[in-house]
Amino acid sequence: MNNILVIDMIAVILLLGIGLYTLIVSRNLLRMLIGFEIMAKGVTLAIVSAGAYNGKLALSQTLAVTAIVVEVIFIAVALAIVMLIQRKKGSLDVRKITNLKG
Amino acid sequence: MLLAYILVPLLGAAIMPILRKIWQKGTDSVPILVTVYQIIITGWIAYQGIVLNGSLNLERWILDQVLALRLDGLSLVALLAIGLVSFVTVLFSLRYPLDEDRRPGYYALILLAVTGMNGLVVATDLFSMYVFLEIVSVASFILIAYQYDEFGMEGSFKYMMLSAVATVFLLVAVALLFAITGGVSFGELAQGVKTGGPVVFISFAFIFFALALKSGMMPFHGWLPDAYTASPAPVSILLAGIVTKIAGVYTMIRLVLEVFGFNSVFMNLLLVVGAVSTVLGAFFALGQKDFKRMLAYSSISQIGYIMMGLAAGTPLGLIGAVFHFFNHAIFKSLLFLNSGAVETATGTRNFDELGGLAEKMPVTGTTSVIGLLSTAGIPPLAGFWSKLVIIVALWMAGFKFFAFIAVFASIITLAYLLLLQRNVFFGKIKQGLEGIREVSPVVYWPAIIMAAITVFSGILFPLVYDKLLNPVNSLLGLLAK
């Protein structure tokens, strides 16, 4: 039981690290969103394994499903905005959207 | 009763698409009715509970022991602020040039943001807080980019990415706390974190980071001026006035009070971060040329005050923080209303192109003076009292150095706001602005309402302190349990 939790937590930390790295390093808007998705997957895993650890599986499943729904709504809005940027600018490069400064 | 705070705006948002088809003119009235309802019902609860009975009856609404809502002194102040700011936002939007076809959708999004904020305020578990936080954030992303312009999209995308990071960290903290305590409600969490240990420390660190990002404190402020500047004028009133304050500051106050307690490490960190935001925010504001951007940096600086008041860790500090939170909602939305009025009248926000508008726009000029004096903390306006309470609380808690910083930042605040007033409203009228006329009454009446609230809550401070703010203090009893 405890060993599984340790493995889970290592996986969670790895997913969060990969996601954050992707979010920071990538120059493409879509890749940044993918980075966020990877982080969100890590979080879902963390919630589920937390439920497995303390034995409250029902509650943890509810939380995980809700978290997934919220994440999907977030990503839908984000993709809509990325699509508008692509239409307006014709590019997905993050270095090209720097109108606001100061 | 409590569920109505969430359901009424949600229902208003839901009937918007139907109203758009059958009675397009009616769409204007729905958000006004909903926000007026919220102001009246909150005022009624405050009057009933506090003025007549001397204390606030804590309302609870519980469903299956899982979803529980609660109303106390702190949430009452927050609900009142939400109602007032969203009301003036809607009034301002009535005449704002939006695409008529998409106007109902715009109102629906504003009502959705109000739903999320109300839910956040009455929620009693960490996970519901997260869900409502996301509702507010998603509604604001769309609102910022509502005009399909490049600036809006850029501001929205920046806010979105930083908000995503904050969300993920908040959820990791929820998962960690859930693992060790076996629940997500404030009561269970407070029981569980008493044992302490590294997991509690890490999760509080994550939550602290997430909320500092959400409220735009100084090291993490990158998105805030961009999002405020890029959004349409009424949206920036809503964002600056209430959204970031509820999402970041209120959540922080609530979690510190109910779950974590005044942990000395984090309170000192909060004090330092708050002081840095206060001073640097004021200095950055000093160098701005754009009306809205200056106000955005001023917002960062004022959030620093609220956090310093909270970090003092005394009942007086908490009262100061909550009162400044309320005042900030009022005077910052007043100043953003004026920036919106100036932008609609002249078509620009740049200081170099503005000047001498006080003659042409007397109402906007006068209310803006009241707003800036309250922000800078000039007696007898409300901003003076809340700053005074925070400074006294810091001094009494032994943080004399930080009390000096708060006074110092207050002077810079006065400097940049007077600069703003001189550049925009005083002096000689600039070329090309001779034909400017005062904006329509629908736009300046909200500003008059806000200015009146600032003046009266300042003059009647003893009454406000006794009746509205002292109930907040009863929350400190939660810490003893």
> So what's the pLDDT on residue B1?
72
| Cβ neighbours, 10 Å, residue B432 | 10
> So what's the pLDDT on residue B81?
92
Contact assignment for A74 to B138 by CB distance below 8 Å: yes
> So what's the pLDDT on residue B106?
92
Please indicate if any CB of chain B lies within 8 Å of the CB of A43: yes
Nearest to B353 by CA among B297, B295, B444, B290: B290
Stretch B273-298: mean pLDDT: 90
Q: Is B160 exposed, middle or buried (0-12, 13-18, 19+ CB in 10 A)?
A: buried
* Total domains in the fold of chain A: 1
Query: What Cα–Cα distance (Å) separates residue B425 from each residue in B117, B351, B420, B438?
Result: 34, 10, 8, 12
The answer, yes or no, to whether residue A102 has pLDDT greater than 60, is no
Is A99 among the domain residues?
no
Contact assignment for A102 to B290 by CB distance below 8 Å: yes
Using an 8 Å CB-CB cutoff, list chain B residues near A20. Answer: 165
Please indicate if any CB of chain A lies within 8 Å of the CB of B476: no
The answer, yes or no, to whether residue B474 has pLDDT greater than 70, is no
For residues B117-154, one letter each, b for 16 or more C-beta atoms within 10 angstroms of the residue's C-beta and e for the rest, the string is bbbbbbbbbbbbbbbbbbbbbbbbbbbbbbbeebbbbb
| DSSP letter assigned to residue B70 | E
- Of residues A19 and B47, more confidence is placed in A19
Q: What is the mean pLDDT of chain B?
A: 86
Type of residue numbered A97: I
- Of residues B291 and B434, more confidence is placed in B291
Is A16 among the domain residues?
yes
Please name the residues between 224 and 263 in chain B that touch chain A, using a CB distance below 8 Å. 225-226, 229-230
Stretch B252-266: mean pLDDT: 84
Query: What Cα–Cα distance (Å) separates residue A61 from each residue in A14, B44, B173?
Result: 22, 40, 17
- Report d(CA B245, CA B221) in Å as an integer: 13
The answer, yes or no, to whether residue A60 has pLDDT greater than 60, is yes
Please indicate if any CB of chain A lies within 8 Å of the CB of B355: no
Instruction: Select the residue of B156, B179, B225 nearest A81 (Cβ to Cβ).
Output: B156
Which residue blocks in B145-197 are alpha helix, DSSP H? Answer: 150-181, 186-193
Secondary structure (DSSP) of B376-437: HT-TTSHHHHHHHHHHHHHHHTT-HHHHHHHHHHHHHHHHHHHHHHHHHTSSSPPTT-TT--
* Token pair for B324: 């400044």
Is A68 among the domain residues?
yes
> So what's the pLDDT on residue B181?
87
Using an 8 Å CB-CB cutoff, list chain B residues near A43. Answer: 168, 171-172, 175
Nearest to B244 by CA among B184, B169, B306, B323: B306
Q: Work out how many CB contacts closer than 8 A connect A with B.
A: 116
Boundaries of domain holding B412? 263-481
Residue appearing with tokens 């469903």: B63
Stretch B46-69: mean pLDDT: 66
Stretch B454-469: mean pLDDT: 80
Q: What is the mean pLDDT of chain A?
A: 88
> So what's the pLDDT on residue B468?
67
Stretch B312-332: mean pLDDT: 88
> Is this complex scored with an ipTM above 0.90?
yes
**Residue A86 belongs to a domain with what CATH number?**
1.10.287.3510
The Cα of A38 is separated from the nearest Cα of chain B by a number of Å equal to 10
- Report d(CA B362, CA B345) in Å as an integer: 13
The answer, yes or no, to whether residue B481 has pLDDT greater than 50, is no
Give chain B's end-to-end CA distance (angstroms, integer). Answer: 27
Q: What is the pLDDT of residues B119-174, one digit of tens each?
A: 999 888 888 899 999 999 999 999 999 888 888 888 898 899 999 999 999 999 99
| Contact indicator for B231, B155 with CB cutoff of 8 Å | yes
- Report d(CA B253, CA B323) in Å as an integer: 13
Residue in chain B nearest A97 by alpha carbon: B154
Nearest to A5 by CA among B203, B206, B199: B199
- Report d(CA B331, CA B382) in Å as an integer: 9
Is A36 among the domain residues?
yes
> So what's the pLDDT on residue B36?
94
| DSSP letter assigned to residue B185 | B
Rounded to 5 degrees, φ, ψ at B440 are -70, 155
Give chain A's end-to-end CA distance (angstroms, integer). Answer: 53
Is A76 among the domain residues?
yes
Is B323 among the domain residues?
yes
Boundaries of domain holding A59? 2-92
Contact assignment for A99 to B151 by CB distance below 8 Å: yes
- Report d(CA A10, CA B252) in Å as an integer: 29
Which helix (H) or strand (E) segment holds residue B76: the answer is: helix B73-94
Using an 8 Å CB-CB cutoff, list chain A residues near B165. Answer: 20, 23, 36, 39
Is B269 among the domain residues?
yes
> So what's the pLDDT on residue B57?
58
Is A97 among the domain residues?
no
> So what's the pLDDT on residue B137?
93
Using an 8 Å CB-CB cutoff, list chain A residues near B230. Answer: 100
Is B336 among the domain residues?
yes
> So what's the pLDDT on residue B63?
62
* Total domains in the fold of chain B: 1
The answer, yes or no, to whether residue B8 has pLDDT greater than 80, is yes
Is A102 among the domain residues?
no
- Report d(CA B94, CA B442) in Å as an integer: 8
Using an 8 Å CB-CB cutoff, list chain A residues near B131. Answer: 66, 70
